[in-house]
Amino acid sequence: MTRKVNIAVIGTGRMGSVHVTNLVRQIPQANLVAICDIRLEVAQAVADELDIQRVVKDYHELLADPSIEAVLIATNTPTHPMIIKDAASAGKHIFCEKPLSLELDDMDEALAVVEKAGVKLQVGFNRRFDKSFQRVHQIVNSGEIGRPCILHIISRDPESPTMEYLRDCGGMFLDMTIHDFDMARFQIGEVDELYAIGNVLLTPQIIEFGDLDTTVVSLKFANGAIGTIDNSRQAVYGYDQRLEILCTDGAARVDNEAETTIQKGDRDGFHSAKLPYFFMQRYAPCYVEEVRQFVECVRDDKPTPVSGQDGRMAVVLGLAAWKSIREKRPVKISEFDRH
Amino acid sequence: MTRKVNIAVIGTGRMGSVHVTNLVRQIPQANLVAICDIRLEVAQAVADELDIQRVVKDYHELLADPSIEAVLIATNTPTHPMIIKDAASAGKHIFCEKPLSLELDDMDEALAVVEKAGVKLQVGFNRRFDKSFQRVHQIVNSGEIGRPCILHIISRDPESPTMEYLRDCGGMFLDMTIHDFDMARFQIGEVDELYAIGNVLLTPQIIEFGDLDTTVVSLKFANGAIGTIDNSRQAVYGYDQRLEILCTDGAARVDNEAETTIQKGDRDGFHSAKLPYFFMQRYAPCYVEEVRQFVECVRDDKPTPVSGQDGRMAVVLGLAAWKSIREKRPVKISEFDRH
Amino acid sequence: MTRKVNIAVIGTGRMGSVHVTNLVRQIPQANLVAICDIRLEVAQAVADELDIQRVVKDYHELLADPSIEAVLIATNTPTHPMIIKDAASAGKHIFCEKPLSLELDDMDEALAVVEKAGVKLQVGFNRRFDKSFQRVHQIVNSGEIGRPCILHIISRDPESPTMEYLRDCGGMFLDMTIHDFDMARFQIGEVDELYAIGNVLLTPQIIEFGDLDTTVVSLKFANGAIGTIDNSRQAVYGYDQRLEILCTDGAARVDNEAETTIQKGDRDGFHSAKLPYFFMQRYAPCYVEEVRQFVECVRDDKPTPVSGQDGRMAVVLGLAAWKSIREKRPVKISEFDRH
Amino acid sequence: MTRKVNIAVIGTGRMGSVHVTNLVRQIPQANLVAICDIRLEVAQAVADELDIQRVVKDYHELLADPSIEAVLIATNTPTHPMIIKDAASAGKHIFCEKPLSLELDDMDEALAVVEKAGVKLQVGFNRRFDKSFQRVHQIVNSGEIGRPCILHIISRDPESPTMEYLRDCGGMFLDMTIHDFDMARFQIGEVDELYAIGNVLLTPQIIEFGDLDTTVVSLKFANGAIGTIDNSRQAVYGYDQRLEILCTDGAARVDNEAETTIQKGDRDGFHSAKLPYFFMQRYAPCYVEEVRQFVECVRDDKPTPVSGQDGRMAVVLGLAAWKSIREKRPVKISEFDRH
């Protein structure tokens, strides 16, 4: 049997605890040796439920442990650059939840440390690991339906998060659209220019901190294709995640899966189920698969499937979208090039 | 330009007036020279609306007219054999609405006259002319998905007809299932044996004259395939017309078309349209196509696409289904062979 | 019986002959008294096929005939303003094919004459008469799923037209997108601002005259909703016509209808039919319905369902899209206000 | 925290090892204390992979252990009655894989011992625990769409099992249809009479031992509803599991889920994914849920959701279907009543 990778998880909140559970139950390639949260009681509760032996409050303790090869960072976004730098400096391979950072400078500094340290970095763009999105990627990239012309991504949450969450999340483009920016790059390639429009049609309270709840971004890709990303904080019929790519000789489309395949017919017509409530359900297998692949990359010394540059570009596209909104004009992505 | 076929329509009730309208508006290959109904005022109303010059009460008048090449019979079922015999004896080609007859002896006598006279006969099994059922026929018969194994036909009316209609229609198997028996033969071939079950679950009034409103017939075909036909007088979500054929290397299926392709999503899920209300809507193009092809067969002296034997066998299968119900046993179709 | 409206058709090319056929066969409310084409032989051929008595070469002849109440204009676009002015001055009610004009000044002049003459004008935006788009309009406007947030229109032709056609059609935005601009206004209301992007990915020959074959327009509506229109000259799987509207409490979507409802299953999965080839098939009932309603508006002296202002605004949006492409910036529709 | 139920698994072949894995990973309500297989090395391999401490060869050893409250029996069918009797006599609660037995006498003897011992018995009809079938059950039983009229079950394997498997499985009706008989009873209620037809169209080798690979059973239910079950050993497009129930005021239907929701469009039309390969994928969550509910019934002393009588009736229906085939006639279920 091949060796297991010793890994620790830093941050055991909503996403962190999902990763912890997956590592224990579904990723035999990994050996979860410790978990960490500054709210020690939160980490302890997770550890109790899953029989995890080692729980620490300060992540430096884990970085000092030479038996730990890799860390999975699922803390608050503002702490990402710092922990990445510390972990890279300690020679640990890193899986970091998205977004890498909301600040370009901090992020670039962290990426520089990672590069210098020569450790692996993977960013948590889980949707790339969905079997449907992967199959579309394969169809489009095989050329069997010609060259891509128009991309559409529809990505809508079932309901708005809390005001507390919204206040610190980076706003629509860095919290929600960032996933779709990464998907756009995954499917079509680099974006050359974008133009964003949006409005507040659902939760007027967010106007005070300048956020939007209904947005459309139009994209020009470097390869000549064009596209749109449409986002909303509220699709009452469930978590709406669709994508389609028109190519010169065909098209490929990912549709939603409903909660059940039941159809009820009556005098009013036919009635079918809502969509799965939210990302934890819709993308459950992706959260397992992305970490499994990271662990195998560490074990077998292979490049990670989602790089630091991928993480950076998604943030850049989010920042460009906000710039487009502020300046009411199309924005070239080259305006954000590293100097 | 090719010559037009002179045709007359006998019987201008519900189905007859549909054929009249189609002949006038959509079948330029025909020249509708006269229409006939013993209820002269019914025929006259149809004639007025469509600017038809000649209206008669007695069909013998039309049979005596040497300029008329063909007649379309859409009178009450009990009159079919007699009119067929008279028309054939007068040398007219015949399109006759289904069922040919409810009585085997009368029907066989009429078919014998047709054969002796050497005129063409086509029976109004309109569904054979539906593009979807034709395409399935083509797929299955091409062998591209192997040999047929299991046929399913689902055929349900949106609501029960009137008691008056039900009293004289020949009951479920000769009124509704007869279409499906013909479809089964069209798709798979001759039936060897059938077994029928049924119940009265919708309109208790029909018990008095021994009819059923909910039935299932299971079929063994001569080629080894098996199948079922399911019928109901009431599918409140609309006229339900489906078929599927499992073959050794695949399957082919015809699904319903809804009234619109609209989906409405809300907090309860997704809602889509009912099915088209009834056969006049669902099979509208078939009523045109069957008569167009009949007219062309007369014009070009070709065999008709639905023969007298096809018409006979559908009736035989209907009679066999009733026999199966009465005798509570599987019935061989050979029990109805002509002696 | 109510009186019939005497109407004449000017221009009997592709669209004109469709209208002529519909008027003869399917619109009993109208009395088609004459048809006209400067290519007299073209008009004569149409007349022969449909038994139309009066055929003229010069439309002025028809305008001089006091028995003619209304004209349907289906000539080349550049001739629309002139014929509209002449017909309005002659007191004829007017149905004019889209686009009203490619030139704003000519169009405004023609609209002024129409207004002064007090005749009715309807523009041929046939898609408004599609049962599915009408039902969505009704759902969205009823408020049953809240206020509209995001509109998507996908509108793709199966294949590029000829170079000859492309050279004079006004380019993508005035030839294809104009229908979608009208649909956007029909469903959501006035557009406040738009931004267009596009590329030439299919037919490089069109670069010489500055056209595009792949475009996306993003829209801001006056009521706060946002949206996109995506167009392509080539969807090899058939004529792709979809629309969806996300609202605060739900969504409504129009999907395509396939040529058949057949599904074939085999070792590779399931296979279903292409979309109907083109607009003549997809929108056939709309071409009848729009003219039927126009005729009834003339007969009953009611306002037409698609006004001259509707025709004007669709052209304005097309011109704005071209301006956005040329100037690489979002364009306010108010830039095109009449002074 | 509530107490855990001590359980042991007897038989660790294909199905047994699935249950073992589920008990270890996904059913925290249970404490899997031991596993058993007469092929000790098979059990040991499973134990090694999942870190199970106790492995035995002889199930009597487990029955003698007072700490074990319940056993899950997943051995060969012929051993079921004997092990059930031994386990019941030892006071253990029992979860037994389907079918309970292929012999009516043995089965009835075992059920009598269970009844006398007063232990709980659940039979492994996993499909009852599928969310879609459960939702249909709920819709139909609520009466919201009226009374049930026609049931259809389509249940087709992707490919035939090995000859070895086929030789001992009880044939089509006791191996495959047995699941559908249980589903029919779950959805509609007791069957009054059935009639079966079938043929060998796929694997001629099975003729020698009298099996069928293509069958249709028609059903009369005690409540007046009727129905059909269609089975095939080979649906090359994947594991086909559908059900629909027509009721007096509507219908409810469970359709298949495809492997992905991708649609690829090209010049030939649209192409979508095959169905999931087989029952382990399609019904994975049901295997967990049925055992979880059994464990909770033991823990909380509640009746099991699938009773011994349910297990018996499914076998009776299978035997009746074989009798119908042999005697070529409809068979009353009352012919199998216990005396």
* D263 interaction partners in chain A (CB closer than 8 Å): 252-253, 255
Contact (CB<8Å) C236/D266:
yes
pLDDT (0 to 100) of residue B276:
84
Which residue from B237, B266, B270 is facing A265, i.e. has the nearest CB?
A: B237
CA gap B106, B104 in Å, rounded: 6
| Domains identified in chain D, total number | 2
Interface of C with A in 50-89 (CB under 8 A): none
Asked whether residue C96 is assigned to any structural domain, the reply reads yes
| Chains adjacent to D (≥3 CB pairs closer than 8 angstroms) | A, B, C
The CATH number assigned to the domain holding D37 equals 3.40.50.720
pLDDT (0 to 100) of residue B156:
97
Average pLDDT score, chain A = 95
User: Using one digit for the tens of pLDDT, what is the confidence trace for C39-59?
Assistant: 999 999 999 988 899 999 999
pLDDT (0 to 100) of residue D236:
96
Contact (CB<8Å) C215/A198:
no
Interface of D with A in 114-173 (CB under 8 A): 131-132, 135-136, 139, 145
Q: What is the DSSP letter of A110?
A: H
Check whether C274 has a pLDDT greater than 80.
Answer: yes
* B257 interaction partners in chain C (CB closer than 8 Å): 257, 261
* A236 interaction partners in chain B (CB closer than 8 Å): 265-267
Q: How confident is the model at residue C339 (pLDDT cuts 50, 70, 90)?
A: low
pLDDT (0 to 100) of residue A51:
85
Q: How confident is the model at residue D169 (pLDDT cuts 50, 70, 90)?
A: confident
Q: What is the 3-state secondary structure (H, E, C) of chain D?
A: CCCCEEEEEECCCHHHHHHHHHHHHHCCCEEEEEEECCCHHHHHHHHHHHCCCCEECCHHHHHCCCCCCEEEECCCHHHHHHHHHHHHHCCCEEEECCCCCCCHHHHHHHHHHHHHHCCCEEECCHHHHCHHHHHHHHHHHHCCCCCEEEEEEEEECCCCCCHHHHHHCCHHHHHCHHHHHHHHHHHCCCEEEEEEEEECCCCHHHHHHCCCCEEEEEEEECCCCEEEEEEECCCCCCCEEEEEEEECCEEEEECCCCCCCEEEEECCEEEECCCCCCHHHHCHHHHHHHHHHHHHHHHHCCCCCCCHHHHHHHHHHHHHHHHHHHHCCCEEHHHHCCC
Q: What angle do CA A217, A337, A127 make, to 5 degrees?
A: 45
The CATH number assigned to the domain holding C186 equals 3.30.360.10
Nearest-10 crossing angle of helices A40-50, A14-26:
30
On whether both D91 and D155 belong to a single domain, the answer is: no
Check whether C1 has a pLDDT greater than 60.
Answer: no
On whether both B155 and B100 belong to a single domain, the answer is: no
On whether both A145 and A262 belong to a single domain, the answer is: yes
Q: What is the DSSP letter of B276?
A: P
pLDDT (0 to 100) of residue A50:
87
Which residue from B145, B257, B260 is facing C135, i.e. has the nearest CB?
A: B260
On whether both B246 and B167 belong to a single domain, the answer is: yes
Residue A272 contacts residue A258 (beta carbons within 8 Å)? yes
Contact (CB<8Å) D269/C235:
no
For C256, name the nearest residue in chain B, comparing CA atoms only.
B261
**CB within 8 A of C50, min separation 6: which ones?**
C20, C21, C24
* C269 interaction partners in chain D (CB closer than 8 Å): 237, 258, 271-274
Interface of D with C in 260-289 (CB under 8 A): 265-274
Half-sphere exposure of D146 (CA within 13 A, CB side): 20
* A243 interaction partners in chain C (CB closer than 8 Å): none
CA gap D287, D19 in Å, rounded: 7
Asked whether residue D309 is assigned to any structural domain, the reply reads no
User: Using one digit for the tens of pLDDT, what is the confidence trace for C96-146?
Assistant: 999 999 999 999 999 999 999 999 999 999 999 999 999 999 999 999 999
* A216 interaction partners in chain C (CB closer than 8 Å): 150, 218, 226-228
Which residue from C25, C252, C265 is facing B251, i.e. has the nearest CB?
A: C265
For A276, name the nearest residue in chain B, comparing CA atoms only.
B269
CA-wise closest residue to C150 among A274, A324, A160, A198: A198
On whether both C166 and C274 belong to a single domain, the answer is: yes
Q: Of the candidates A93, A119, A145, which is a domain's last residue?
A: A119
Asked whether residue C208 is assigned to any structural domain, the reply reads yes
Asked whether residue B304 is assigned to any structural domain, the reply reads no
Residue C211 contacts residue C171 (beta carbons within 8 Å)? yes
Percent of chain C with pLDDT over 90: 90
Nearest-10 crossing angle of helices C308-327, C177-187:
120
Check whether C13 has a pLDDT greater than 80.
Answer: yes
CA gap C287, A270 in Å, rounded: 29
User: Using one digit for the tens of pLDDT, what is the confidence trace for C141-172?
Assistant: 999 999 999 999 999 999 999 999 998 889 99
Q: What angle do CA C10, C16, C18 make, to 5 degrees?
A: 145
Q: How confident is the model at residue D168 (pLDDT cuts 50, 70, 90)?
A: confident
Contact (CB<8Å) C147/A218:
no
Low-confidence ranges of chain B (pLDDT < 70): 1, 339
Which residue from B149, B156, B251 is facing D214, i.e. has the nearest CB?
A: B149
Alpha helices in A90-240 (DSSP H): 104-117, 131-142, 163-168, 171-175, 177-187
pLDDT (0 to 100) of residue C277:
80
Asked whether residue C288 is assigned to any structural domain, the reply reads no
Q: What angle do CA B236, B239, B242 make, to 5 degrees?
A: 120
Asked whether residue C43 is assigned to any structural domain, the reply reads yes
Which residue from B236, B266, B273 is facing A267, i.e. has the nearest CB?
A: B236
Q: Of the candidates B84, B119, B154, which is a domain's last residue?
A: B119
Neighbours of C77 (CB within 10 A): 19
On whether both B136 and B184 belong to a single domain, the answer is: yes
Contact (CB<8Å) D261/A257:
yes
What does the block give as tokens for A71?
């860390």
Asked whether residue B108 is assigned to any structural domain, the reply reads yes
Check whether D61 has a pLDDT greater than 70.
Answer: yes
Q: Largest Cα–Cα distance in chain D?
A: 68
On whether both A279 and A168 belong to a single domain, the answer is: yes
Contact (CB<8Å) C273/D269:
yes
* B239 interaction partners in chain A (CB closer than 8 Å): none
On whether both C148 and C56 belong to a single domain, the answer is: no
User: Using one digit for the tens of pLDDT, what is the confidence trace for A61-73?
Assistant: 999 999 999 999 9
Mean pLDDT over A45-58 rounds to 92
| Chains adjacent to C (≥3 CB pairs closer than 8 angstroms) | A, B, D
Contact (CB<8Å) A218/C237:
no
Interface of C with A in 1-30 (CB under 8 A): none
On whether both D72 and D159 belong to a single domain, the answer is: no
Average pLDDT score, chain D = 95
Check whether D313 has a pLDDT greater than 80.
Answer: yes
Which residue from A25, A145, A266 is facing D250, i.e. has the nearest CB?
A: A266
Residue A251 contacts residue C237 (beta carbons within 8 Å)? yes
SS3 A255: coil
Asked whether residue B292 is assigned to any structural domain, the reply reads no
| Chains adjacent to B (≥3 CB pairs closer than 8 angstroms) | A, C, D
Which residue from A249, A255, A262 is facing D254, i.e. has the nearest CB?
A: A262
pLDDT (0 to 100) of residue C168:
84
Which residue from D258, D270, D272 is facing C237, i.e. has the nearest CB?
A: D270
* A132 interaction partners in chain D (CB closer than 8 Å): 260-262
Residue C310: what are its φ and ψ, rounded to 5°? -60, -45
pLDDT (0 to 100) of residue B279:
81
Q: How confident is the model at residue C81 (pLDDT cuts 50, 70, 90)?
A: very high
* D258 interaction partners in chain C (CB closer than 8 Å): 269-270
Residue A214 contacts residue C152 (beta carbons within 8 Å)? no
CA gap D249, B274 in Å, rounded: 13
Q: Of the candidates B119, B152, B170, which is a domain's last residue?
A: B119
- Residue B324 lies in domain: 129-283+314-336
On whether both A114 and A257 belong to a single domain, the answer is: no
Which residue from B195, B232, B328 is facing D246, i.e. has the nearest CB?
A: B232
Which residue from D145, D251, D260 is facing A135, i.e. has the nearest CB?
A: D260
Interface of C with B in 218-257 (CB under 8 A): 249-257
What does the block give as tokens for B114?
């047709």
On whether both D95 and D223 belong to a single domain, the answer is: no
* A226 interaction partners in chain C (CB closer than 8 Å): 197-199, 214-216
* D267 interaction partners in chain C (CB closer than 8 Å): 236-237, 274
On whether both B34 and B159 belong to a single domain, the answer is: no
CA gap C290, C312 in Å, rounded: 18
Mean pLDDT over C279-301 rounds to 93
Contact (CB<8Å) A269/B267:
no
CA B69: distance to chain centroid?
23
Inter-chain CB pairs, C–D, below 8 Å? 50
* C235 interaction partners in chain D (CB closer than 8 Å): 265
Check whether D1 has a pLDDT greater than 60.
Answer: no
For C241, name the nearest residue in chain B, comparing CA atoms only.
B261
For D248, name the nearest residue in chain A, comparing CA atoms only.
A266
Contact (CB<8Å) B237/D251:
yes
pLDDT (0 to 100) of residue A281:
84
